[in-house]
Amino acid sequence: MILVFCGPPASGKTEIAKRLAERLKGSRLISTAEFRRKRYRRISAEAERWAGRVDYLILDGTFHREEWRNSIKTIALKSGQEILTIYLKCSLQTCLKRNELRKDRIEEKAVRIVHEQMEEPMAPDIVIDTESSGIEEAVEGILRALVKNRGKQLEETPSQNVLPGERH
């Protein structure tokens, strides 16, 4: 399964995607932040490489253009993978505030441009308003949606804050 995280910069995509990857056994997280240039061409190439080789391929980027999300949908179809689009939204003011707190902050102008140019997904599978949902709440919601989508219990990686022998 391919999970595509999309939304404006500083909406919480990377943190939620990281936590989800930590929880899902057999997952691989690829972020556009790993690439300096041609980010969406390169993440698409990585998606082609990894699709079907892991249980959960998690892609993290703004994916603010529909064409970039469609590229991943095409890869999913070709590789016989299900795709889940997860749209994270929040106000420009919240994105700007969060960006200021980031260690790897981006230019304010870039946050404003991407937020303004964000082409919202037509029919995302999951929409998370990160102004009203915390990281853990968002991860739990995504896990519930995956169970519902797949119709079976997920195999999770044991949490580091759970003592051996305890179930979570």
d(CA 161, CA 168): 10
Cα 98 to Cα 95: distance, rounded to the nearest angstrom? 5
CATH number of domain containing 7: 3.40.50.300
pLDDT of residue 161: 33
In this structure, is residue 152 part of a structural domain?
A: no
Structurally, the chain folds into a number of domains equal to: 1
160 within some domain:
no
The pLDDT score that the predictor gives to residue 163 is 27
Give yes or no for a contact between 124 and 82, defined as CB atoms under 8 angstroms apart.
no
**115 lies in some domain:** yes
For residue 168, is it within any domain? no
Cβ-contact 9, 96 below 8 angstroms: no
Nearest to 78 by CA among 70, 67, 90: 70
Alpha carbon 57 to chain centroid, angstroms: 10
Residue 161 lies in a domain: no
Check: CB of residue 6 under 8 Å from CB of residue 61.
Answer: yes
Q: Domain range for residue 23? A: 2-146
pLDDT of residue 64: 96
The per-residue pLDDT for 158 is 43
Tokens of 24: 């899902």
**Residuewise pLDDT in 10s, the chain (168 residues):** 999 999 999 999 999 999 999 999 999 999 999 998 999 999 999 999 999 999 999 999 999 999 999 999 999 999 999 999 999 999 999 999 999 999 889 999 999 999 999 999 999 999 999 999 999 999 999 999 998 877 655 555 544 333 233 332
